[in-house]
Amino acid sequence: MPLLPGLADWREAPRVRVANDRPIAGDARYVLCWLQQALRATDNPVIDAAIRLGNALGLPVLVYHGVREDYPYASDRLHHFILGASRDLAAGCAARGIACVRHVDRAGHREKGLVYRLAADAAALVMEDQPTFVARWQGERVAARVGIAVHAVNAACLVPPAVLGDGIGGRSGFLRRYEPERAAWLEAVDEPAEVAPYAGALPFVPDVLDDDLDMLIAGLDIDHSLPASAAFPAGRAAAGDRLQRLIGKVLPGYAVTRNDATRREGASGLSPYLHFGVLGPREVMRAVDAAAAGAKHKTKFADELLGWREWFHYQARGLAAPECYDRVAGWARATLAEHEGDPRPEIETLAAMLRGETRDETWNACQRQFLRFGWMHNNLRMYWAKRIIAMTPDPATAWATACYLNDRLSLDGRDPSTYGNIAAMFGGAPGDTERPIYGRVATRGDGSTRRRDGGDAWIAAAAARPVPPVSVPTELPADRYLRREYT
């Protein structure tokens, strides 16, 4: 199927995927732009694609963002971050002269199937192309069901995965194809302007909910045992502060400091903002390129932000179920299965793990970062994930536990990097030594943190950090839970 009008000659056209074979509807009021995770008003290719299409059809664009109470892991923490981003998305759209309507589903304000109802008045739907979690399954479902043309646009990556071609099996092959593309995608884009903002009829009364998010969230039927993160405030201004902090304080030493979990300013803390699209990788990378920091630090940062993050996006796009244990390398699943019956003296309950109250002080220090901040340092995440294999009854439960804790607690969870990194910790390169429980899967100690100056004291303090009394489920969610309808 060819691209819709206004898109074929666009510089960003490789970001666009034709998501169904339906026609443009006649007699429509607008082009619908449905955002789930790319919550920014500028440098947002989903919005830009919708405007280009709208201009070609002579129609305005209607941006829609909705949040429900029943999506997996809905909590004060996630709602606060999402609704703060949504508030700034709406303000940014208003500044660009684009109509943006939002809805928070709640008692007394129930609206079933809003995307479908909004699509009924649309010529076409432009949505995000996300490779994991609810955003992926919702997008696929909506594209299959609506009667209008749907395009999915990649807004999460600097280089859209489609330009790299299919079938790249490893990161070195990925980088060989990726590197020559990178410079062109770093160039700033000209944002198209809208003819006139949509001001016509709507099938519901949109919410204006920005005055007291705390009060709104307190009244919702979501997980209130997990509070908003004070360390990661929601919205564009907070993301901008993080970016400034990266340029001024983190980047000048990044290649040296990034592995040191004990340093406050060793890493950027940008991942929550990138996950929810409050910042895009182009904006971050352009700021990094323009910074005065040394080349080795910039190169290291680019390797993480682009070389690793975008590799996991690429991988997830090629997988039927990126969130499932089956994605772990076959040799690793086989060696873990051979050792499934091994004695497991370090097994822990889900409650002890969830609350960071296990017998492993370092693991508790890691887990309490997730609990308290909604974020964990990269170096700690590696130890944390590896140890879960020994703390749970079998490898599949270990996978489900790692994904559950990461997805529920971490602001950046539910991401291609979540499942890609956990898969790397459960697989990666096979080791030479055969060990109980792990087989040939490499283990990891806590020396990289303990050996630092003051490392033992830092771990002890982090493991004793006060954390919220988070509720404990009776069982881990099944994979299918993620595939339910959430519109």
- Using CB under 6 A as the criterion, which residues of the chain lie in contact with ligand FAD when the complex forms? 258, 267-271, 274-275, 304-305, 308-309, 312, 377-378, 381-382, 385, 406, 410, 412-413, 415, 417-418, 421-422, 425
Q: Report the alpha-carbon distance of residue 159 to residue 155 in Å, rounded.
A: 9
The CB-of-259 to ligand FAD minimum distance in angstroms stands at 9
Name the residue nearer to ligand FAD (CB basis): 262 or 271: 271
Question: What separation in angstroms does the CA of 335 have from each of 222, 327, 341, 433?
Answer: 39, 15, 12, 12
Strands 30-34 and 61-67, bridge-based pairing: parallel
DSSP per residue, 2-65? PPPTTTTT-TTGGGEEE---PPPPSS-SEEEEE-SS---SSS-HHHHHHHHHHHHHT--EEEEE
The CB-of-210 to ligand FAD minimum distance in angstroms stands at 26
The CB-of-404 to ligand FAD minimum distance in angstroms stands at 12
The CB-of-301 to ligand FAD minimum distance in angstroms stands at 6
How far does Cα 79 stand from its chain's mean position? 14
Question: For the CA atoms of the chain, what is the radius of gyration?
Answer: 22
- How is the chain split among helix, strand and coil, in percent rounded to 5? 45, 10, 45
The CB-of-415 to ligand FAD minimum distance in angstroms stands at 4
The CB-of-203 to ligand FAD minimum distance in angstroms stands at 35
Residue 66 structure tokens: 């909705």
Name the residue nearer to ligand FAD (CB basis): 55 or 410: 410
Name the residue nearer to ligand FAD (CB basis): 101 or 305: 305
166 SS3 class: coil
Name the residue nearer to ligand FAD (CB basis): 55 or 392: 392
Question: What separation in angstroms does the CA of 93 have from each of 47, 183, 186?
Answer: 9, 28, 23
Q: Report the alpha-carbon distance of residue 432 to residue 80 in Å, rounded.
A: 46
The CB-of-338 to ligand FAD minimum distance in angstroms stands at 23
Name the residue nearer to ligand FAD (CB basis): 45 or 413: 413
Name the residue nearer to ligand FAD (CB basis): 160 or 413: 413
Name the residue nearer to ligand FAD (CB basis): 30 or 458: 458
